[in-house]
Amino acid sequence: MKLFPKKNKTEYDSLLGDIEKTKIALDSAYSNFENVSDPDLIDCYIYELNAMQKRYKFLLRQVKEIDKNQSDVEGLVDFP
């Protein structure tokens, strides 16, 4: 049984939604990058790809941190 305080559950769900949106933006940036030939646009999509990858990694770390904290809390709860 997982015990999520309401705030953490809402934050967790929000992060999962942000991860999904970021994944879609990342897929779009990859697609756009593959379909351009102008050097300025290539640079633009390289920057966009790097930004989306960093955002994706950041969001994953946030979710892992919530999972870790939740595991720590569950380890402290002693059920009779």
Do the domain assignments include residue 2? no
Band of the pLDDT at 10, cuts 50, 70, 90?
Answer: confident
Closest Cα partner for 12 from 55, 57, 52, 68? 68
Q: Establish if 73 belongs to a structural domain.
A: no
- Determine the Cα–Cα distance for residues 72 and 51; give it in Å rounded to an integer: 32
In a domain, 37, yes or no: yes
Q: Is residue 79 part of a domain?
A: no
> Residue 5 above 70 pLDDT?
no
41 falls within a domain? yes
Query: Does residue 35 lie in a domain region?
Result: yes
Q: What pLDDT digit, counting tens, does each position of 29-63 carry?
A: 999 999 999 999 999 999 999 999 999 999 999 99
- Give the chain's domain count: 1
Specify if 17 maps to a domain. Answer: yes
pTM for the structure as a whole: 0.74
The answer to whether 22 and 52 have CB atoms below 8 angstroms apart is yes
Which domain covers residue 17, as residue numbers?
A: 12-64
